[in-house]
Amino acid sequence: MTLLADLVDTSRKVAETASRTAKAGALAAFLRRLDPDEIETGVAILAGIPRQGKLGLGFAILGAARGGAAAEGPRLTLAEVDRRLAEIAAVAGRGAAAERARLLGALFARATAAEQDFLVRLVLGELRQGALEGLMVEAIATAADAPAAAVRRAAMFAGDLGRVARAALAEGAAGLARFRLAPLAPVAPMLAQSAEDVDDALRALGRAALEWKLDGARVQVHKAGDVVRVYTRSLSDVTAAVPELVEAARALPARELVLDGEAIALAPGGAPRPFQVTMRRFGRRLDVDAMRAELPLTAFFFDCLRRDGADLVDRPAEERFAALAEALPARLVVPRLVTADPATAARFFAEALARGHEGVMAKALDAPYAAGSRGAAWLKVKNALTLDLVVLAAEWGHGRRRGLLSNLHLGARDPATGRFVMLGKTFKGLTDALLAWQTRELLAREIGRDDWTVHARPELVVEIAFNELQASPQYPGGLALRFARVKAYRPEKRAEDADTIDTVRAIYAAQLARAAA
């Protein structure tokens, strides 16, 4: 049985190592030592997200649970930690907070001081030692002596890196080959980078497909015979909330489909309603019939990943788009134009804006579907510069905002470390309702505070519009947002989906190039 102390030591080594190869090697060496039944737990914890997911435990409860004496020597095993966290996650109902605190205290009583510190950071989502999914893929490949591409592909279909690691370490390439796209098993969506304008996008992609960029809810629709399931971008099953999408998919002639698209609420004249309005259809407690009558959803699909037994994820986008057009009526397919001509692309972009949409997506015609990846094959072009950033902290407001958390501290994700690089602050664009909501949500994620600032677990993703970037020695990334304002919170996105500091630097480089031209 593997001790938690061994994992904590490996995590420390990874955090202290700058070399990506050395990080992957340290992780691989640890994975090889695990018993088969420990692999899924070990991978999940090293990646910073236990198998039980986010436990919703605040800083106060964790601090109280850690108040007792620490164990003198290591004795906690990975299996015991996994079991104890599962018990905590299962507690619900009246008195749940007290019972969770009791169970957590019992776990901490068996942990050394170093293990307690590790567990606090794990539960708070602050375990930023650099063992991100991409690095874990390399470590699993090294440990199993398998190609990294095969591990990455299996993870794309499994949606669970722990399961993939167990199969790879037990069976090698044969175990990895079993993971395939299947109906009713959602996969992580492909993501996009940003481009300055349509000219910039066409320079990068050449002849490309342009699509209206809809500010709706990302949905993945699976059909297997008469069974239809609808999943969000975070892979949550929302089938019951969207009966009109289910009906539309069930009516399609294809026996089997996996579709990627957007669901959006449209006004009577066809203009898109704001994102926050569309997201009302995905609330926790819904009168679905009443909400459907008030806010009917329209689906626009832009990709086809599987059709009647044929996997299409590895096929060029142009072939997937053709399969989509054959399988669906035109009213269910997002408006699309294929061109290499900047003037034609500019007119298409202007039409999308005139219809009330955010802008366009530009997509490489020869690219496969890279599930879960934010690559350069998909580029988003908007009328205003925007970034999806993570809220790191917020300052208490003054005057009419007294008692509310107002000025947001914003960070971009650093893919090399898993940490977040602060880019600036903003209190603009916040309505009274949004101020009240973000105060509740940030306090629920509090991990510390001083007289004027509450620091929060980096979980809330917010879309920020800004005019430009400027060099700034004030922030660790050397860049700051100018005239930043809140456009909308994006509850459907995870912190891992936020824009990276690499994307921010690329925008700044393009900005400098334009200024020099």
Strands (E), 195-255: 208-213, 217-224, 227-232
In angstroms, rounded to a whole number, what is the distance separating the alpha carbons of residues 377 and 373?
A: 10
Helices 133-144 and 148-158, packing angle to 10 deg: 120
Instruction: Answer yes or no: are the C-beta atoms of 465 and 487 closer than 8 Å.
Output: yes
In angstroms, rounded to a whole number, what is the distance separating the alpha carbons of residues 264 and 277?
A: 9
Q: Does 493 qualify as catalytic in the annotation?
A: no
> Which residues lie below 8 Å from residue 55, measured CB to CB, with a gap of 6+?
85, 88, 89, 100, 123
Task: Please give the C-alpha separations between residue 281 and each of 22, 489, 493, in angstroms, as whole numbers.
Answer: 46, 16, 16
Residue with tokens 């993570």: 390
> Which residues lie below 8 Å from residue 512, measured CB to CB, with a gap of 6+?
none
Could you tell me which of 345, 321, 344 has the C-alpha nearest to residue 333? 321
Task: Please give the C-alpha separations between residue 48 and each of 27, 54, 130, 207, 393, in angstroms, as whole numbers.
Answer: 13, 10, 9, 40, 20
Residue type, 3: L
> Which residues lie below 8 Å from residue 513, measured CB to CB, with a gap of 6+?
none
In angstroms, rounded to a whole number, what is the distance separating the alpha carbons of residues 458 and 125?
A: 8
Instruction: Assign residue 200 a region (left: φ > 0; alpha: ψ between -120 and 50; beta: otherwise).
Output: alpha
Let me know how long the chain is: 517
Instruction: Answer yes or no: are the C-beta atoms of 481 and 511 closer than 8 Å.
Output: no
Task: Give, as one character, the DSSP assignment of residue 197.
Answer: S
> Which residues lie below 8 Å from residue 458, measured CB to CB, with a gap of 6+?
125, 126, 390, 391, 392, 411, 420, 495
CB atoms within 10 A of CB 177: 13
> Which residues lie below 8 Å from residue 219, measured CB to CB, with a gap of 6+?
230, 231, 232, 233, 238, 242, 245, 260, 261, 262, 263, 299
Q: Which of 13, 23, 54, 213 is catalytic?
A: 213
Catalytic site positions = 213
